[in-house]
Amino acid sequence: MKKIALSVLMTALLAACASTPAPVTDPNANQTTGNTSNTGSEITTVDATGTTGVKLDPRLSDPSNILSQRRVYFDYDSFTVKSEYDAMVQAHAKFLVERRDYKIILQGNTDNRGTAEYNLALGQKRADAVAKLLLALGVNENQIEAVSFGEERPLENGDTDEAWERNRRADIVYNGEQTK
């Protein structure tokens, strides 16, 4: 096993020396290329770290109100909303029926086992499961968007059963809210 630092391999003294007959010239040298081609030129950075904030109904953030609860946890390999979340889901449905001007994004999440892209599709099934319940309770389709974050937004890092459990969930996010 050898470890190679990329910084510098070797330094050396250079002695003066007579030049020799020119070898073959690279036919591609000095070619000019357009902006979008693969020349490895400078890259322009796009900054998408800005934040926006919207004032929402205070009930949504009042810790004593059930509407402040936003998480549905799922069993391993399961996409069924357990009955312990009935009251919470019903409360959000009631709120959304009352406030047709409010919209939510349901964000499905998974643990980190398996490929990130397949997990994104698995998380979608969890978000879809919560969406179906809300639709059945009278929420309009245009108030709900079910999406997935897959394994990209864990509540807990690590490869323990406990961490995995915490990460298998769907989050209810009201439009205009900032998540972590």
Partner 1 sequence: MKMLKQFLRGLVAATLLAAGAAHADMTIEVVGVGSQQYPIAIVPFKNEIGLAQAITPVVGTDLGNSGLFKVIPAGDVAPQPFSSSEINFPALQAKGAQTALVGQVIPDGNQVTVRFWLVDLATKQELIAFEKRGNASQTRRLAHQIADMIYAKLTGKTGAFASRIAYVLKTPGRYQLQVADSDGYGAQTVLASRKPIMSPRWSPDGGKLAYVSFEKEKPIVYVHELATGKRIEAANFKGSNSSPAWSPDGKKLAVVLSKDLGSQIYVINADGSNPRRITQSGEINTEPSFLADGRSIVFTSDRGGSPQIYRQSIEGGEAVRMTNSGAYNASAKVSPDGRSMTYVTRSNGYRVAIMDLASRQSMVLTDTNADDSPSFAPNSQMILYETDVGRRGTLAIVSADGRIKQRLKAQGGEVRQPAWGPMLR
Least Cβ distance, residue 144 to partner 1 (angstroms): 9
**Number of C-beta neighbours around residue 154 at 10 A:** 17
Q: Which residue matches tokens 């934040």? A: 51
Our finding on whether 24 is near partner 1 (CB under 8 A) is yes
Q: Which has the closest alpha carbon to 132: 81, 78, 67, 177?
A: 81
Our finding on whether 54 is near partner 1 (CB under 8 A) is no
Our finding on whether 32 is near partner 1 (CB under 8 A) is no
**Number of C-beta neighbours around residue 144 at 10 A:** 19
Q: Which residue matches tokens 């949504």? A: 60
Give the DSSP H/E element, type plus range, for residue 172.
strand 169-174
Question: Applying CB under 8 A, what is the total number of residues that bind partner 1?
Answer: 72
Our finding on whether 6 is near partner 1 (CB under 8 A) is yes
Of 42, 84, 101, 162, which one interacts with partner 1 (CB under 8 A)? Answer: 42
Of 56, 60, 125, 137, which one interacts with partner 1 (CB under 8 A)? Answer: 125
Least Cβ distance, residue 121 to partner 1 (angstroms): 4
The three-state secondary structure class of 137 is coil
Our finding on whether 112 is near partner 1 (CB under 8 A) is yes
Residue 1: exposed, middle, or buried by beta-carbon count in 10 A (0-12, 13-18, 19+)?
A: exposed
Contact set for partner 1, span 131-170 (CB under 8 A): 145-150, 152-153, 157-159
Of 62, 86, 113, 138, which one interacts with partner 1 (CB under 8 A)? Answer: 113
